Amino acid sequence: MGKQFLEITEKKEVDAIIACVAAEVEEARAKTDASVEKVKVAEALGRIVSADVFSALNVPPFDRATMDGYAVVASDTFYADENNPASLIITGSISAGESPSQYVDKGYCMGISTGAPLPKGANATVKVENTSEYADGAAGKKTKKVKVYKPVAPGENIMLAGSDINRGARIVRRGTTLTPRETGVLAACGLNEVAVYKKPTVAIISSGNEMIAPGEDLEPAKIYDVNSQALSDSVRECGCSPYFLGIARDNTEDISERLNESLEKGVDVIIVSGGTSAGVGDLLPKVIEELGEILVHGVDIKPGKPFIFGTLQGTPFFGLPGNPTSALVTFNLFVAPLLRTISGIPVQNHEKGVRRKEKRIKAKAAQRIFSERGRNEYVLVNLVSAKKPEEVSIIAYPILTGSGAITTLAKADGYIFMEKGKEIIEEGEEVDVELLTNLFASKKLYQNYDTLRSG
């Protein structure tokens, strides 16, 4: 069943195929409430809002004093100065949190604290610094009064009800990632819950007879499974929840079983990495063909050539190389854009249907870099910030340990794309480096970035 591409597909075409499936999945998710959940604002940091949020109230909810002083009728203070202060009778005072019960008439005023509601009748606040209180009248019949030395205009030192946020105003847009600023605004409007997109669940399966899980005893001929961990954490960095299904042995039954379990669980995406054993290159496509459709089998890039993309009963499926560095590079190139799309982040930077969301910085090649003729090559690089007098820049060192080494993964901050036809990058040439992990999550790059930008 299904169409099968056994030939190598061009990267651009692969991007377009994945973007198309991503858009379909996103649309399907948007039609169902199953992709949305209400969460406490207290736990919503970093989540993506699924519907525009409107304020049910005015902020501030009442006309509010913005200074400590006296609530007055502004016209009572016009023309007042040091020599001719206005004199007003104080009828009481209002603290923040208290409701004023009195009306302020011309010739009268009330003491007021910052944040307290303005009493009716008053239309401005005189700062306490521009006043002096005194007692007036005969002993035993003293009246509390205040001299006002500076005039105020109507509306001065008050914030009108709804002037900050009007009842009914949109306060957070659909698709916004919540930062402390937005959670603060939600709180200001009295909201303690918010509707967000559910985090897509991503099934992760490692495959290989030689794999064992970290923490287990190392048996002869076995190696520890790296990809389950590295891919789970990469999935987390894309705002999704990994669902680890363990290590599958290299046989049809074991892989089928885990794929079926993923589908029954209702995961949003499935990733299988590996295995490296002989014959296994044919095993995975065979299983996929039985359960769904292969759309891409092989892409014209290095590393990552044996990449597979397809759908299993409508669920996007990725087959990544077993080699950890290749797995992480293909994850960044192909899986991450799809995860971002189905997470509900609105499309902004479209480029021929392909979402561009790589984290990219400019650097200089530390040495001559060669690419294999006729291949789109991703050269892993280590970034170091170089500080020469009057010049700060980031230097990119190609990592030469090869894509099979774990240490390549450990050293790699990002990769340079050498398009087919580009066979040499000269020493000192400016290159674009796509970062492998979140810029600020990676301390080292954070510092480089700091240096670069503030230098």
Show contacts with its own copies in window 432-451 (CB under 8 A): 432, 436-443, 446-447, 450-451
Smallest separation, CB 1 to its own copies (Å): 29
Those residues whose C-beta lies under 8 Å from the C-beta of residue 383, and which sit 6 or more positions away, are 361, 363, 394, 395, 396, 397, 413, 414, 433, 444, 445, 448
Structure tokens at 279: 């014959």
Residue written as token pair 């901050």:
413
Q: What are the backbone angles phi and psi of residue 188, rounded to the nearest 5°?
A: -60, -30
Q: Which of 36, 188, 195, 392 touches its own copies (CB under 8 A)?
A: 188
Question: Least distance to its own copies from the beta carbon of 62, Å?
Answer: 7
Which residues face 377 on adjacent strands? 302, 418
Size of the site for its own copies (CB under 8 A): 114
Residues 199-218 that bind its own copies (CB under 8 A): 208-211, 213-216, 218
Nearest-approach distance from CB 399 to its own copies, in angstroms: 12
Greatest CA separation found in the chain?
108
Question: Looking at 176, 315, 341, 376, which residue binds its own copies (CB under 8 A)?
Answer: 176
Interaction of residue 189 with its own copies, rule CB under 8 A: yes
> How is 36-63 classified by DSSP, letter by letter?
EEEEEGGG-TT-BBSS-EE-SS-BSSS-
Smallest distance from its own copies to CB 445, Å? 9
Q: In whole angstroms, give the CA distance from residue 328 to residue 231.
A: 7
Stretch of residues binding its own copies (CB under 8 A), selected from 78-86, 141-149, 188-196, 387-395: 188-196
Nearer to its own copies, 57 or 395 (CB): 57
Report the candidate in 324, 337, 287, 348 with the shortest Cα–Cα distance to residue 410.
324
Q: How far apart are CA 70 and CA 148, in angstroms?
A: 9
Name the token pair of 306.
């044996």
Q: How far apart are CA 240 and CA 431, in angstroms?
A: 31
- Specify the length of the chain in residues: 455
Q: For its own copies, which is the closer residue by CB, 39 or 405?
A: 405
Residues in 308-367 that interact with its own copies by CB under 8 A: 322, 324, 328, 345, 348-349, 356-362
Q: Which x/- pattern, by CB under 8 A, does the window 9-48 give for its own copies?
A: --------------------------------xx--xx--
Q: State yes or no: residue 412 binds its own copies (CB under 8 A).
A: yes
CB of 437 to its own copies, least distance (A): 4
Query: What are the structure tokens assigned to 331, written together?
Result: 């994850």
Q: Quick one: 227 or 311, whose CB is closer to its own copies?
A: 227
Secondary structure element (H or E) that encloses residue 22, with its range? helix 11-30
Closest CB 313 distance from its own copies, rounded Å: 28
| Least CB distance to its own copies at residue 155 (A) | 13
Q: Give the nearer residue to its own copies in terms of CB position, either 256 or 437.
A: 437
Q: Residue 388, interface with its own copies (CB under 8 A)?
A: no
Alpha carbons 415 and 434: distance in angstroms, whole number: 5
Site for its own copies in 68-127 (CB under 8 A): 68, 95-100, 113-117
Under rule CB under 8 A, residue 407 binds its own copies: yes
Q: What's 3's DSSP letter?
A: -
